[in-house]
Amino acid sequence: MGTTFRKNELVAMKVQIPKTGFFYAFQADDQGTFDVLYPQASGSPVVPSGKALRLPVEEELWLGFISSSVTLAWSPQRIESLELAIDRSEVEKDSIRAIRDPEDAKKLDEELTRLLKSNLSVKRIELNVD
């Protein structure tokens, strides 16, 4: 599934959680780095069924586009590999957590790709710039 945006267009996504569990969202850019959209820190609490989340969570922030993808993952249990990736991320000046280290970004990309093939509720949305 893909959506085309104009360069520098700003948007936010609203996601409704299907069942009580743990939710994760990462935006990958075409440089191979990731922004952590949700949760804002590792060790996140359970998200209740039916809760609507805005991505990015901060009302004053928006997703700006170069070609990228957003991967959304839900699980009834914490996904330790994603928690570790979030724990290793760095907080940037706009308060978004980012994974810029090439080795950490590669590990996260491999894990998200593995999760896409698993039985968990994982979806990747391609965000294309026209």
Each residue's pLDDT tens digit, 44-71? 789 999 999 998 888 887 776 666 788 9
Tell which residue, 99, 104, 128, 93, has the closest CA to residue 4: 128
Structure token digits, residue 119: 């039985």
| Per-residue confidence (pLDDT) for residue 70, from 0 to 100 | 86
Q: Which residues pair with 73 in a beta bridge?
A: 24, 122
Structure token digits, residue 79: 């996904």
Tell which residue, 70, 54, 58, has the closest CA to residue 5: 70
Each residue's pLDDT tens digit, 70-93? 899 999 999 999 999 999 999 987
- pTM (predicted TM-score): 0.86
| Per-residue confidence (pLDDT) for residue 66, from 0 to 100 | 60
